[in-house]
Chain A
Amino acid sequence: MKQSLYESQHQAEWQAFAEQLDALERGKADSQQSRRFAADYRRLCQHLALADARGYSNHLVERLQQLALRGHQQFYRHRSPLGAQLIGFLLVGFPRLVRAEWRCVAAASLLFFGSLISMGVLTYLFPDLIYSMVDPEQVASMERMYDPDARRLGRFSERGSGDDWMMFGFYIMNNIGIAFQTFASGLLLGLGSLFFLLFNGLMIGAVAGHLTQIGYSETFWSFVIGHGAFELTAIALAGAAGFKLGWALLAPGRHTRGEALRLAGAQSIRLVGGVIAFLLLAAFIEAYWSSMTFATPTIKYLVGATLWLLVLAYLLLAGRGGHAPD
């Protein structure tokens, strides 16, 4: 069949398909008309294949190619129910993923909690160590924050009636920012994650050791134990996700480095998804529970210990059932 005949036979069809695409791209498609979209799209693909095989002119082939590309974009749009997926991921997928990536998680946790604890113990034994990590001004402001005489605790105590909203915003910004950096810098052969894990571990450890040593232990520990369960775990997990990226570059196995990175990226971004959920929860607890002074330290320790156990149980046990959740 000659090209001009073929074109005139299908011209109207292509025109209608283009109009349908316009509507879909602007998000204003009529649902009744869209029922035929899949069939129309396949038909167009067939026309394109025919035009190509028959050696029709570049102009026609390009025009059909473009329609096919636009159709492809609309046809393969991701329309999965996000809410259900999210719940499934948080209940089952995330803890399973953490266990599957246990090597990275163990390495990151060891580095982070190891540096945190050893720096804490060292600062407790040698009080001057704090000044090697934190400058004196910051130490003073840190001490003011956790002064046992203060009515409110935490980073905004100086403001008196520090608004919970303000704190919630600040915690989200600060903590998720740190977690994102810890993850992303893992792309530098894992060195960035290594740095951020160690740096944050040493910093938090030094502050904790110092405040315990000068006798502010009750205000400090009762403040941090609650949200720490989520916040510290989340930073360790973000580091694990970063290590996964770095490891893909260092030891790509049987893939090319680019391919290995892409595969690792798909897994590690899911870890980051869980980290975000943890940090949102931590910010919420920090703003609305940790900073309150109506609960006695004993209650805070109890709640905090329960939260730690919950986090551990969640990561170790959730989603171990044999069948997929309904």
Chain B
Amino acid sequence: MPLSAPTPVHPGPQPLDTRYQVETPEGIDLVLRPAGLVPRALAFAIDLLIRGLFLLAVYVVLGMLGQFGMGLATILLFLVTWWYMVLFEVLNQGRSPGKQWLGLRVVHDDGTPVGWAASLTRNLLRFVDILPFAYTLGIISCLNHRAFKRLGDIAAGTLVVYRDSAPEAPLLPPAEALRPPFALSRVEQRALMGFAERAGQLSAARRSELAGILAEPLQVAPEHAEHQIHGIARGLLGPA
């Protein structure tokens, strides 16, 4: 367990989305994307189904073994009820089968993989989250928290985050590489390159509308602004 809660560090204003930044000892910011109510509920439903089917199979098989079998089945029921989540989360890198299916994982608040104590805490306190019925307290807490934590997550200091897949390399629109007409700050550089990288996802009208805003500082006609920006992005990326 971390000794003190890492406070999310936000350079500048709070981000508009739900990303959660953690500064690590290596001097970098990890960006985590906490998962909301719906994917978490789906993951839980899948886990519930798996457990139900498993117990059904166990009872059928062990029921044939008589008393010894029933004793074993009771122990298994206990293990599955209270330990299924804990064992999977700790031994399978924060992922129960349902979470793995939906691309989620459990981590500590500081981004490190979840350990025994935190996992046990969050899963025992599930008992309170399901009160008074159908996860009411858990849902209320989850919807009210910036990082979508249920009560068990708050007490254990854990987060359920998405496991991102590697991003596709974007294709920059064709343009001649240009030098920017004046020195750009880091944020401006990022913005111009972001615009070029996302060109494929925006409609032509929206692109020219956005680019038009920069026509004046770039000293070009509004209809050439888009091409100009693409050129500058190319120039920032490679030789110009």
Contact = CB atoms under 8 A, between A and B. Distances in A.
Contact of B67 (A2, A165, A270): A165
A266 B117 contact: yes
B73 A169 contact: yes
Contacts of A225: none
Contact of B75 (A18, A25, A63, A173): A173
Given A68-B28, A73-B93, A166-B67, 6 more contacts: A4-B238, A41-B26, A45-B26, A55-B186, A72-B112, A185-B128
Interface in B108-153: 109, 111-113, 115-118, 120-121, 124-128, 131, 151
Given A72-B111, A76-B113, A176 B67 contact: no
Given A163-B68, A262-B154, A172 B78 contact: yes
Nearest to B124: A184
The residue in A42, A82, A269, A272 that gathers the most chain B C-beta atoms within 10 A of its C-beta is A269
B75 A57 contact: no
A177 interface: yes
Given A166-B70, A173-B75, A265-B157, A57 B237 contact: yes
A169 B71 contact: yes
Contacts of B170: 59
B71 A163 contact: yes
Interface string A139-176: 00000000000000000000100111111111011001
Contacts of A237: none
A197 B2 CA distance: 31
Interface residues of B, number: 67
B148 to A, nearest CB: 14
Interface in B187-220: 187, 189-190, 193-194, 197
The residue in A4, A41, A42 that gathers the most chain B C-beta atoms within 10 A of its C-beta is A4
7 contacts: A2-B238, A4-B239, A56-B193, A68-B28, A69-B164, A78-B113, A265-B125
A269 B120 contact: yes
A48 B28 contact: yes
A159 B112 CA distance: 51
A109 B73 CA distance: 33
A2 B233 CA distance: 11
A62 B167 contact: yes
Contact of B127 (A166, A181, A269): A181
Given A2-B239, A66-B166, A42 B113 contact: no
B67 to A, nearest CB: 4
B164 A66 contact: yes
Contacts of B74: 166, 169-170, 172-173
Contact of A184 (B66, B127, B237): B127
B92 to A, nearest CB: 9
A69 B90 CA distance: 18
A167 to B, nearest CB: 7
A180 interface: yes
Contacts of B193: 56-58
Contact of B121 (A42, A55, A63, A269): A269
Contacts of B111: 69, 72-73, 76
B1 interface: yes
B113 A69 contact: no
Given A57-B197, A68-B30, A166-B67, A258 B154 contact: yes
A163 B124 CA distance: 30
Interface of B: 1, 5, 24, 26-32, 66-68, 70-75, 77-78, 81-82, 90, 93-94, 107, 109, 111-113, 115-118, 120-121, 124-128, 131, 151, 154-157, 164, 166-167, 169-170, 184-187, 189-190, 193-194, 197, 233, 236-239
Contacts of A78: 90, 112-113, 115-116
Given A65-B30, A269-B117, A58 B197 contact: yes
Contact of A245 (B32, B77, B155): B155
Contacts of B128: 184-185, 187-188, 192
B154 A73 contact: no
A259 interface: yes
Contacts of A306: none
A261 interface: yes
A267 to B, nearest CB: 10
Interface in A64-83: 65-66, 68-69, 72-73, 76-78, 82
Nearest to B31: A65
Contact of B157 (A168, A173, A183, A262): A262
A49 interface: yes
Given A3-B237, A59-B169, A78-B115, A49 B197 contact: no
A272 B167 contact: no
B154 A261 contact: yes
